[in-house]
Amino acid sequence: MSEAPQAPPAQPPAQASAQPDAQPDVQPDAQPADGQLESPVELDTPAPPVGAVVDCPVCGTPTAAGEAFCESCGADLGRGTPLPEDVPDPEAAPIELTARSAPAGPARAPGVLVVVPDLDGRAATCASCGGTVASDGYCEQCGTPAPRPRDHFVEQPAPWMGAVCDRGRRHARNEDAMAVAARAEPGSWAAVVVCDGVSSAPESDVASLAASRAARDVLAAPGSEPPITADELLTRAAAAANDAATRVAVGVKGPNPPSCTFVAALVETGRAVVAWIGDSRAYWFPDGGTPLQVSTDDSWAAEAMAHGLSREEAEKLPQAHAITRWLGADSPEGPPRTVTVDVSAPGWLLVCSDGLWNYCSAPEDLGALLTATQARVGAEPVALAEALTTWANEQGGHDNITTALVRCG
């Protein structure tokens, strides 16, 4: 998940690091919600009892109820207005904070397929003992909590593409989100949106889900009259995503409104147009060509690279993942950046969050990983995306992970 949004450095990081007081302004995270979701969760729940021990909603470290910041990760604990995710055991939280009834959905263009997974319900039968799962989310026989669908979900509207979103191993919540659409014919048309909630803000998982689905709905809608370009359509999708993330902030207390990153790819007959805001990425891996990172991060590390630092040096900076653009109520104005790439040759378009690329950033390295993984598990998109997600978890799973793959050519 992305770190707090920050303004770009005014000078090369090597110089800026010598001025520890000149720190950029910190920003928030957001929680996923659908573009048509109901009102965000109210945050006026009573504070935990004095002396109670609660877990940090970001890293899960136990903290005293009166503490304002987590001693382990520095997260703002918001003790003045406790967040509903402050529960004794975030790994087994029985309350589904992102529960919403699935909307009927907007109109789709002819032939466009969309999968809307049920992220509300829990299994009725316990996977551990076969007992009955009660309404509070726990097994009545052994007490094991039923898995939360939001922690790991898959979307595959057509066999030639697929996406996986996973909580990872270190976070109590999955603040990543994705939404995809496609036509059935391979290589014909597909849309992929990935949003990564900013970790320092409340409701980051609601905002990222709302933003990704709102953008997907714009891309999958019937064609406008007169026709608009792919760049214009992606700009509209980003605006809809920003509006959706901003609406989540209604009723959210505190200085950091919900925020998230945004990257979207529109694939059509040999061409992909990619738009982004923040540090979620798109890569192009042709089977027989040079791997390419299509997007360029809006982040402190990218600014450092622009000032001459190598990728390795820049991505090791303490504030490497601090983003300089984001979606949300206090987001900077301006459209997303867009790039068009030829994907007519056989290959993979990968759209992902930093939970994957943080372990394998350079396109040549990530391309080699993709090739090796495909040789092991095959070329079925969801199986391949699951394998890459599993690999990221095996590296530590420090962040939420989203992996979306489109087979082109």
The CA distances from residue 306 to 278, 313, 333, 369, in Å, are: 16, 12, 22, 26
Neighbours of 364 (CB within 10 A): 13
Q: Is the pTM of this model over 0.85?
A: no
> Residue 103 has what pLDDT?
47
> Residue 226 has what pLDDT?
80
> Residue 316 has what pLDDT?
82
> Residue 79 has what pLDDT?
38
> Residue 17 has what pLDDT?
35
- Give dist(CA 144, CA 140) in Å, integer: 8
Per-residue tokens: 41: 């969760």
Per-residue tokens: 274: 């990619």
Q: Radius of gyration over alpha carbons of the chain, in Å?
A: 21
> Residue 36 has what pLDDT?
35
- Give dist(CA 336, CA 278) in Å, integer: 9
Q: Domain map of the chain by residue range?
A: 148-408
Burial grade of 349 (CB within 10 A; 0-12, 13-18, 19 or more) = buried
> At residue 19, what are phi and psi to the nearest 5 degrees?
-120, 75
Question: Residue 388: how many CA atoms within 13 Å on its side-chain side?
Answer: 37
**Which sign does the torsion angle of CA 361, 366, 368, 369 carry?**
positive
Per-residue tokens: 288: 């027989």
Neighbours of 48 (CB within 10 A): 17
Task: Pick one of 3.40.50.2020, 2.40.170.20, 3.40.640.10, 3.60.40.10 as the CATH number of 148-408.
Answer: 3.60.40.10
Cβ neighbours of residue 244 closer than 8 Å, sequence gap 6 or more: 33, 34, 35, 207, 210, 211, 213, 214, 215
- The label of the residue with tokens 């996977």 reads 127
> Residue 273 has what pLDDT?
98
Per-residue pLDDT tens listing for the chain (409 residues): 566 665 555 444 443 333 333 333 434 343 333 333 333 333 333 444 434 456 666 566 666 555 555 655 555 555 333 333 333 344 433 333 333 344 456 899 999 999 999 887 777 888 889 899 998 888 889 988 888 999 999 999 999 999 999 999 999 999 999 999 999 999 999 999 999 999 888 999 999 999 999 999 999 999 877 889 999 999 999 999 999 999 999 988 888 899 999 999 999 999 999 999 999 999 999 999 999 999 999 988 888 888 888 888 888 887 777 899 999 999 999 999 999 999 999 999 999 999 999 999 999 999 999 999 999 999 999 999 999 999 999 999 999 999 999 999 9
